[in-house]
Structure 1
Amino acid sequence: MGMRIKVLQKDGGKLQVNEEFSEMLAFNGIDTFEKLWNIPSEPVKKVVKQRGTERVLLKSPDGAALEAYIKRYTPEPLKEKIKNILSFRPNRYPGALNEWNAVVEFHRNNLPTMQPIACASRGGDSCILTLGIRDYRRASELFAEFAGKDRSRRRSLIGKIAGLAAGMHSAGMAHQDFYLVHMFVREGEDDKPYLIDLQRVVFKEDFSERWRVKDLAQLLFSSEKFVSRTDILYFWKIYAGGAVGKMSDGKALMAKIMRKTASIRKHAG
């Protein structure tokens, strides 16, 4: 059974707060959209013009500092929006509310991800504040280190990632950027993988085999230089055993995944 996060509505619905962090946010004077949007922060990364992530330090009543991350979204330019619609890619960079809903839904389904603190939205501007994941390694780094050694540990991590993928798809969600770099692994939790960057998650209403294929092809593309055919078959055994919902025959689905992987490889090259 997953953990249900109780969400409190503030500032006329423009600010949503995880009840667990309500007292801390109040202590830091964050009770409106404006206060969260303008919270002091330092840049970490900016992948696209419409989205940037910055580090935030929150003070707790006991004097300790809590490291968090705020991701701010601004509206997609009309020209880019029209281009994406014509390319059948509407809502390519949705606002923070989509990521907030995804994080909350991940917790409800017991899928490891970031801890949500607050989300704010007004007009076309929105932002999400999450707790930083500490003491992690990127899955891509670990698999690179496993090359030629740590076979049992590599196989164990493959099984955990397969379980995460199966759980996500069984819950009717697809990540859309399901690459190893978006998985943080906490070695102190027996190599437990956490999935990050959920801003483009597709939900039940829109979930279909197309998204299942895309996710698994992205994962295969990002891991193929680290894993063997036997590893892939092991992943598939765990994934197929845990996934529920409408799914093609195994061989047919695998063929679609291989074709999509080849397409990603071609565009990446």
Structure 2
Amino acid sequence: MREMFWVRPGYESVLAALGLDSLDAVFAWSAGQRMDKPGLEGWRQRWRITLPDGLGYGYLKRFTHPPFRRQAQRWLSGAGRLSTAGIEWRNARQLADAGIAAAEPIAFGQEMAGVWERRSFILLGEVAGQSLERWLPVHLPAAERDPYKQARRKRLDRLAHFVARFHHAGFVHRDLYLSHIFMDAAGADEAGEGKFRLIDLQRVFRPRWRRRRWVVKDLAALNFSTPPERVSARERTHFICRYVRDCGYGGSVRRLVKDVEIKMRFIARRHERPRADERDGQRDQYNEV
């Protein structure tokens, strides 16, 4: 058996105070708030933890004896030596190295038997703010009724720049819906703009081939999850144009817009549009694995 236990520098005392200073301790622990939802497979667990010293909350994901199909997915992705939690940990660190704001890992551990995952966990820090899926219906009126046109355009441009930087760094996200991008309006920068961060990092990867296919899928997922009554067709086209400029995309903008629309219609046929008011209230951050 091979074990790995990593703690973010400076958080050793935090883990010790919580009694989470070893792999066995993490899997024996049960003092937080369970956040499982109906239908969650038994090998997965989610917990919300109150961190000491006013550090806010942490979100713990535990995985025990993943089924063969999940193991095979890791092997086929080329991550045979990394566990389910290990993939998210690696992605978080790679995003940080690339300067892409995302959920930050506090601790990670795994127990492997060769390429077979026995158990793994990751503890993530809470992401400030709320998902754009929840923020947008409350704070963004329809374009024709919004008196703050300049601020609206600026915010749209900032989001396009954030997604462009993410893609330019070589990453894509299998589910880049508004629910997986958080905005911290309270922690705005000097220009008064909220800061964006990614969550559900398990879904992030760097494609080796057919990269454009995944970029189109990301942009289509964003488009699909954006309520049409809040963001106009003209604004959506502007978003793509700004994205192309910031990303350094070398292809036809018109073709990209068309391909995104085609993919969005495909997504719409397969899924009902997600609605924030129908979710269970715990969906905001670490309800996905």
TM-score range, shorter chain: 0.7 to 0.9
Task: Give the whole-Å Cα distance in 2 for the aligned partners of 1:20 and 1:41.
Answer: 22
Residue 124 of structure 2 aligns with an amino acid whose one-letter code is T
* 1:264 counterpart SS class: helix
CA contact (8 A) 2:241 2:253 kept: no
Give identity over the alignment, percent. Answer: 25
Structure 1 position 165, deviation (Å): 1.0
Work out whether residues 107 and 123 of structure 2, in 8 Å CA contact, stay in contact via their aligned partners in 1: yes
What are the equivalent positions in structure 2 for 1:44-59 lying under 5 Å apart? 44-46=35-37, 48-49=40-41, 50-59=43-52
* Counterpart Cα distance in 2 of 1:120 and 1:207: 32
Q: Distance in 1 between matches of 2:77 and 2:15?
A: 36
Match of 1:169 among 167, 180, 188: 167
2:3, 2:111 within 8 Å by CA — same for their partners in 1?
A: no
Residue 16 in structure 1 maps to residue 2 in structure 2: no
What's 1:101 paired with? 90
| 1:129 matched residue in structure 2 | 123
Question: Cα–Cα, structure 1 residues 28 and 89, in superposed 2: closer, same or farther, change >3 Å?
Answer: closer
With the length of structure 2 as denominator, give the TM-score of the two structures.
Answer: 0.75
Deviation at 1:89, TM superposition (A): 9.7
Q: Match of 2:218?
A: 215
Amino acid in structure 2 at the alignment position of 1:115: E
1:43 alignment partner in structure 2? 34
Q: Where does structure 1 lack aligned partners over 5 or more consecutive residues?
A: 1-11
SS at match of 1:133: coil
Change (3 A) 1:66 1:165: same
Compute the RMSD of aligned alpha carbons.
3.0
Structure 2: where are the runs of 5+ without partners? 273-289
Q: 1:22 to 1:238 in 2, by over 3 A?
A: farther
Code of the aligned partner of 1:143: L
Which of 103, 109, 113 matches 2:102? 113
Conserved 8 A contact 1:173-1:207:
no
Pair 1:14–1:261, CA change in 2 (3 A)? same
Match of 2:279 in 1: none
What is the TM-score of this pair, normalised by structure 1? Answer: 0.80
Deviations 1:223-257 (A, max 9, x none): 15121122112211221112147x54222222221
